[in-house]
Structure 1
Amino acid sequence: MNLDALSKYRPLYAFDLLGFGRSSRPKFGSDPDEVEKMFVQSIEDWRQAQDLNKMILLGHSFGGYLVSSYALKYPDRVKSLVLVDPWGFPKLEPDGERARRVPLWIRALVRILSPFNPLGVVRAAGPWGPGLIKRFRADFKTRYPEVTEQDENTVFEYIYHCNAGSPSGESGFKQMNQDLGYAYKPMLSRIGGLRKDVPVTFVYGARSWMDVNSGHETQNLLPDNHVEVYSVKGAGHHVYADRPELFHEIIDTVCDALD
């Protein structure tokens, strides 16, 4: 629902992160620093293979964290950063407001399941995996109407097969997490080192669990950068699917300002 609109006026490259989707699935180690370096280097290797000089980098969720890390290491290659409901920005505050809002039983469940990969239950379900996703993520049916109107099972089958293989990127992501989904190396502790000439745009879903305050805090940490923060009404974590037209308008605005 996004590719045609975003490629209408400029070249668009869309790729699966290393270890996810149809990208190769290497084995990640257990050191969070090394895992992050491996992800970031894969983006740089991809850029070199595509012979691109400078890019507007757009990342969603975990992708937003990784392109931020990439921009810190390779600022010469980044024309602008667009972070869509990015994961991994806030610092862990065990006694903070967010932690207090999490019920005790959920905290206990997180600790019990922490040794396992997040989607292990989907793989363990075998042929019942697509049905399991369909049951717990029924929202996908209404989120992708152009696909589900033709065959409602297509999206569920796709999500299942993207995650039914070896849990490579998923394992890497797990190593970069600490309690309750916080990043081992929070981006707010590092983003202040971004070069001054790299503009940053945050696009949050107003109904998302991601904290829009991270975007505003980044504005304070980067007073010499151009930092915009959008909160899209009626959208959750998947902003690009919940409000695609408005999402395209925001991205076009960002890109047009750089042309």
Structure 2
Amino acid sequence: MNFAKQFLEYTVLTCLHVLSKLYCSVITFILSWLSPTWLSWNKYSENMLRTIEKKILQIVRTPHRGCFVDIGPVVGPADKIWTLSLNTESQKTPLVLLHGLGAGIALWCLNLDAFAATRPVYAIDLLGFGRSSRPTFSTDSIEAEQQMVRSLEEWRKEMKLKEIIFLGHSMGGFLAASYSLSYPENVKHLILADPWGFPERPKEYKDVPFLIKTVSYIMKPFNPLAGIRLAGPLGPWFINRVRPDISKKYSIELNDPNLIPQYIYQCNSQYPSGESAFRSMMSDFGWAKNPIVRRIDQLRAEIPITLLYGSRSWIDHSAGEIIKEKRIHNYFKLQVITGAGHHVYADKPESFNQIVLDACEYTDSLQNRNNLAIMPSESDQPESDSNY
């Protein structure tokens, strides 16, 4: 009986996979006729994105500055990364924020004041997302990942930041970890917020509902956020219908409930550059082709890791135990925020902010300890004529 059921599922999914490719071709052909040059279906506006972002960031009380950082020909001929800077006068180790798939710097609005109270903070639109450049990434998973990582390194060099604390959410956590493996000398702490792409993809889908499998196969030929672009001018409404919880996360601080869905729409109604890179890196939506757990033991031992999850997140959390085992003699702290989902930074911002601040303070304590260790002894210190 079980064999017959499995055979039926396999047959149906195989057929759906073939049909989904055909369906994708048909949709692509139709959309070529419904291009913005023939019918104003896509309502992306650079001015609108800038205006909405500015409205959202009005709730941030800390003085801040936005600018495009020219990183040169990393992927495209002249790539630029949109960057928000706060409290840059502070001498403490800077905190760099990397958002997840389909997001942008404005979605950190509930966290920026808390972080910037103690140190420099930089939030960026990853290359291919938000207001940053939209180059065409490689379709090879490893090369696409390395292109993203190289863009982060060129950005760091342009910003003249010697050492940084990385805070990466979801896909941003994956890229922060990958960067730390490639450029460990620049990373003082790796803070991973509900990171994507860490565990191995399960060999069997015993616990995955049949409906989810079916949807996964149907969506496989598409970029993950294609539905937003297909919705055209109905995009913000579509986002609100599919994910009404996202607006609610910000409702206490933002008076206009439409700002967040409009922002997400404007970020993702453009050419899906970074989104295509994500699709190249993923093995089905929930896993990466080159998961971090295969490489985490290569991370420099001196880099502390703080891993935090939302207790209600859909992300596969199995990598936590694996990382703990592989880094048993190195600093690793796991935090679970009760009641939070995947967007843990917005679900429970106060708890999230405190965990991040504690991680940053730990980094500061290490720095102070190292400074004390290299200070000359009292007898070696030069005499001073100053009186205090």
TM-score normalised over the length of structure 1: 0.95
Shift of 1:147: 4.7
Which letter does structure 1 place at the counterpart of 2:298? G
Deviates more, 1:103-112 or 1:75-84: 103-112
Contact kept? 2:199, 2:287, Cα under 8 Å: yes
Contact kept? 1:212, 1:231, Cα under 8 Å: no
Report the equivalent of 1:127.
233
Can you list the C-alpha shifts for 1:111-144, whole angstroms capped at 9, x where unaligned?
2221111111211111111111111111022100
Unpaired segments of 5 or more residues in structure 1? Answer: none
Report the equivalent of 1:5.
114
Report the equivalent of 2:309.
204
Deviates more, 1:57-66 or 1:16-25: 16-25
Contact kept? 1:203, 1:230, Cα under 8 Å: yes
Can you list the C-alpha shifts for 1:128-170, whole angstroms capped at 9, x where unaligned?
111111111110221001454x211111110100000000000
Deviates more, 1:37-46 or 1:134-143: 134-143
Q: Higher RCO, 1 or 2 (CA under 8 Å, sep at least 6)?
A: 1
Are residue 166 (structure 1) and residue 271 (structure 2) matched?
yes
Distance in 2 of aligned mates of 1:160 and 1:180: 20
Shift of 1:223: 2.0
Distance in 1 of aligned mates of 2:215 and 2:259: 31
Report the equivalent of 1:214.
319
Distance in 1 of aligned mates of 2:318 and 2:209: 22
Q: What number of residue pairs does the alignment pair up?
A: 255
Distance in 2 of aligned mates of 1:180 and 1:251: 27
Report the equivalent of 1:23.
132
Contact kept? 1:21, 1:162, Cα under 8 Å: yes
Distance in 2 of aligned mates of 1:33 and 1:140: 31
Are residue 103 (structure 1) and residue 209 (structure 2) matched?
yes
Which letter does structure 1 place at the counterpart of 2:314? W
Contact kept? 1:208, 1:236, Cα under 8 Å: yes
Structure with the higher fraction of residues in strand conformation: 2
Which letter does structure 1 place at the counterpart of 2:335? Y
Shift of 1:195: 0.6
Which letter does structure 2 place at the counterpart of 1:61? S
Distance in 2 of aligned mates of 1:34 and 1:102: 30
Following TM superposition, where does structure 1 have runs of at least 4 consecutive aligned residues deviating by more than 4 angstroms? none
Report the RMSD for the aligned CA atoms in angstroms.
1.1
Report the equivalent of 2:149.
40
User: Equivalent residue of 1:80, what SS?
Assistant: strand
Report the equivalent of 2:340.
235
Which letter does structure 1 place at the counterpart of 2:321? H
Contact kept? 2:286, 2:315, Cα under 8 Å: no
User: Equivalent residue of 2:142, what SS?
Assistant: helix
Contact kept? 1:147, 1:155, Cα under 8 Å: no
Contact kept? 1:107, 1:180, Cα under 8 Å: no
Are residue 182 (structure 1) and residue 291 (structure 2) matched?
no
Q: 1:54 aligns with which of 139, 149, 163?
A: 163
TM-score normalised over the length of structure 2: 0.64
Shift of 1:225: 1.6
User: Equivalent residue of 1:13, what SS?
Assistant: strand
Which letter does structure 2 place at the counterpart of 1:126? G
Distance in 2 of aligned mates of 1:109 and 1:210: 17
Contact kept? 1:236, 1:242, Cα under 8 Å: yes
Distance in 2 of aligned mates of 1:101 and 1:92: 13
Distance in 2 of aligned mates of 1:180 and 1:244: 26
Q: 1:90 aligns with which of 199, 220, 243?
A: 199
Can you list the C-alpha shifts for 1:66-106, whole angstroms capped at 9, x where unaligned?
000000010000001000000011112222xxx22211232
Which letter does structure 2 place at the counterpart of 1:246? S
Report the equivalent of 1:253.
358
User: Equivalent residue of 2:352, what SS?
Assistant: helix
Distance in 1 of aligned mates of 2:273 and 2:221: 15
Are residue 224 (structure 1) and residue 308 (structure 2) matched?
no
Distance in 2 of aligned mates of 1:10 and 1:84: 19
Contact kept? 2:340, 2:347, Cα under 8 Å: yes
User: Equivalent residue of 2:312, what SS?
Assistant: coil
Distance in 1 of aligned mates of 2:159 and 2:230: 37
